[in-house]
Structure 1
Amino acid sequence: MFIAAAVSFYLLLMLHCPAPSSATEKSPCDTCTKLVDRFHKGLEDTSKKNFGGGNTAWEEKTLSKYETSEIRLVEIIENLCDSSDFECNVMVEEHEEQIEKWWFKMRKKYPDLRKWFCIETIEVCCPSGTYGPDCVACLGGAERPCHGNGFCSGDGTRLGDGSCRCKAEYTGPFCLECADGYFSTGRNDTHSFCSECHESCKTCNGPTNTGCKECKEGWTKGDGGCIDVDECSAETSPCKETQYCLNTEGSFSCKSKYFLHFYLSLYCL
């Protein structure tokens, strides 16, 4: 077959020109998804190829043959993988027959190539919201993995364990709890909304400093809420002898006394 010869040529070329190793490992699903994307690009690039000469009747007759021909399929497959993409080329080589089957027999019945090829046939991907060898629903359900507040490990692939990696505002196995520095603005069994606390709060139940349950370092409980600690007013300065202390909200900084003297000499004459 033309296809086998074309793919074998690229694999042979790759063996003599190995690609540099990548720091990021691609999953088989990533490879398959990219392959399908390139296939669709090939369909676009080869549509009405070499036509447009003016003989409309001849073009339509010839084009209808080329549209589903093996020649067109070979042209597409030749550009599916970069020569350095070993995983892609191996996948094409191993599953050449399935690609041909879809092209000649299954395309009309199963127009979604990624679903038919990557998910249902070679089984390297899962539907969105599912993970693992059996495509089990992620925590929180396939419709809204991690209740929409995080990312499911292995989502859409045959890998991962389905655990949730929560966004900054959320925590807990289902990403329904508010993380430190955030407070709940609404919650039910399926949805949770968290907003950021005041800058002085480590934990809180409202948006202002009066809602602080715990204060961050550099702040202390005072009348009405967390207030700034003035480190510079301490009996012993936190700065070196050659520095002066400048208090800031929730912290302080040490500045050179020589810079202060220089500044005063310029502007305070």
Structure 2
Amino acid sequence: MHLCSAGPSALRQLLLLALLSIAVSAAPDKCSVCNRLTEAFEQGLQRTAKDNFGGGQHALGGEPPWQLGQQRNSPCGHTDEGKEEAVACHALLEQFEEPLEGWWFGDFRRDPGKSAAKAAAALRELLCVRTGGLCCQHGAFGPQCAACPVCGLRGHCDGNGTRAGSGRCTCDSGYRGELCDQCETGRYLATAEPLLCLACHPACGSAGCVDGPSESNCRDCATGYQPAEASGAADGRVSCIDVDECAATPGPCAGPNETCVNSPGSFACDCLPGFQRPAAGGDCQPAETAAGTDGDSAETGGDSAETGDDSAESSGESAETGGESAETGGESAETGGESAETATPAMDKEEL
């Protein structure tokens, strides 16, 4: 059965599927919530297009269809939880229930060939723009839904489709101009229709390049590059070549056992075969020595930990010695007690 022959339970199911997707993540901004609602409604249409919605219970378990406005089953959540998105969601449900059902049984069912995307666009126009006044049509912005400027394919109108924004063109990366129709410095115009700006060659400097990705189309040279001999054209085009820092005398790598390795626009000081630089830095050393140095550092750390253990052991012995002293004192006191006991019978004999 086609979607357009669906009954009330189908509408309620689609609403449930749509609102479940926005109940948690929806922002309190009403236009955003409304957009999410219509987008999720489109997804629901796509998912359920092959099902039969002629009647009976909906597909989400065996429970009765969800009823609009009843918080008990509402996917918006409970407003007493104090969540702004839940409050905004419930407000939209109450506001849109009647026009939504009118659209479902009217325009939507009268056009059985309409795609889910077109149906969702028509629903947004009805609910978010005309009925709710929450959003603008695409191509308009601000409280009065003024027309957006034409930002081309490489930018977008700030606030497009909303009741907010400045209406200025916000350009994509690599583009500039009031209408985003120019290339940023560091890029060149690859095609005009459609407008496409691509990055200049890395050899080109801050002034960018003329009209191509080659190092021969630069306006100036980047650090690590220099103009080639006899380069330079009437249009300011310069051909840039790599500077071989390793060919300089003296070379940039003066440390023992290291060599200079040139690379485009740069260089590196690498250790000779059989040598390596210690993890802590410094000169290149024989691989065994460098590895031993790193091991010694780890061993030193281990010795420190061992010394700490010895200190703890010494403290334990001191405590044990103290315990023995206390025990000796106890024995002395006990001996004194026995002496006093021995003297008592002697005194009794004299009295006799």
- TM-score (norm: length of structure 1): 0.63
Superposed CA deviations along residues 154-190 of structure 1, whole A, max 9, x for unmatched, are 22222222233322331222211111222224549xx
1:195 aligns with 2:189: no
* Structure with max Cα Rg: 2
Between structures 1 and 2, the one with greater helix share: 2
- 8 Å contact 1:200–1:212 — kept in the other structure? yes
Hey, what does 1:212 align to over in structure 2? Answer: 218
Cα distance in structure 2, aligned partners of 1:149 and 1:138: 14
- 8 Å contact 1:42–1:79 — kept in the other structure? no
Cα distance in structure 2, aligned partners of 1:25 and 1:92: 9
Give the deviation of 1:234 after TM superposition.
Answer: 4.1
Hey, what does 2:329 align to over in structure 1? Answer: none
Hey, what does 2:68 align to over in structure 1? Answer: 74
Q: Structure 1's 75 and 183: CA in aligned 2 closer, same or farther, altered over 3 A?
A: same
Q: Structure 1's 219 and 41: CA in aligned 2 closer, same or farther, altered over 3 A?
A: closer
Q: Structure 1's 80 and 126: CA in aligned 2 closer, same or farther, altered over 3 A?
A: farther
Give the deviation of 1:216 after TM superposition.
Answer: 2.1
SS of 1:215's partner is: coil
1:34 aligns with 2:40: no
State the one-letter code of the partner of 2:147: A
State the one-letter code of the partner of 2:200: C
Aligned residues: percent identity?
30
Cα distance in structure 1, aligned partners of 2:40 and 2:75: 5
The correspondence of residues 130-169 of structure 1 with structure 2, limited to 5 A, is: 130-140=140-150, 146-169=151-174
Cα distance in structure 1, aligned partners of 2:228 and 2:202: 15
The correspondence of residues 177-192 of structure 1 with structure 2, limited to 5 A, is: 177-187=182-192, 192=195
Superposed CA deviations along residues 77-122 of structure 1, whole A, max 9, x for unmatched, are 9455366994442223323443122134344248622221112222
1:102 aligns with 2:99: yes
Cα distance in structure 1, aligned partners of 2:134 and 2:250: 64
SS of 1:216's partner is: coil
Cα distance in structure 1, aligned partners of 2:244 and 2:27: 50
1:230 aligns with 2:227: no
- 1:241 is matched with which residue: 242, 247, 255? 255
- 8 Å contact 1:182–1:194 — kept in the other structure? yes
Between structures 1 and 2, the one with greater strand share: 1
Cα distance in structure 1, aligned partners of 2:88 and 2:153: 33
Cα distance in structure 2, aligned partners of 1:175 and 1:27: 28
Give the deviation of 1:38 after TM superposition.
Answer: 4.0
Structure 1: which 5+ runs fail to align?
A: 1-18, 53-69, 141-145, 264-269
Higher relative contact order (CA 8 A, sep 6+): 1
Cα distance in structure 2, aligned partners of 1:212 and 1:28: 50
Superposed CA deviations along residues 221-253 of structure 1, whole A, max 9, x for unmatched, are 223401112233445655673654321112223
SS of 2:152's partner is: helix
CA RMSD, 1 decimal: 4.0
State the one-letter code of the partner of 1:30: S
Cα distance in structure 1, aligned partners of 2:77 and 2:89: 12
Q: Structure 1's 172 and 241: CA in aligned 2 closer, same or farther, altered over 3 A?
A: farther
Hey, what does 1:92 align to over in structure 2? Answer: 89
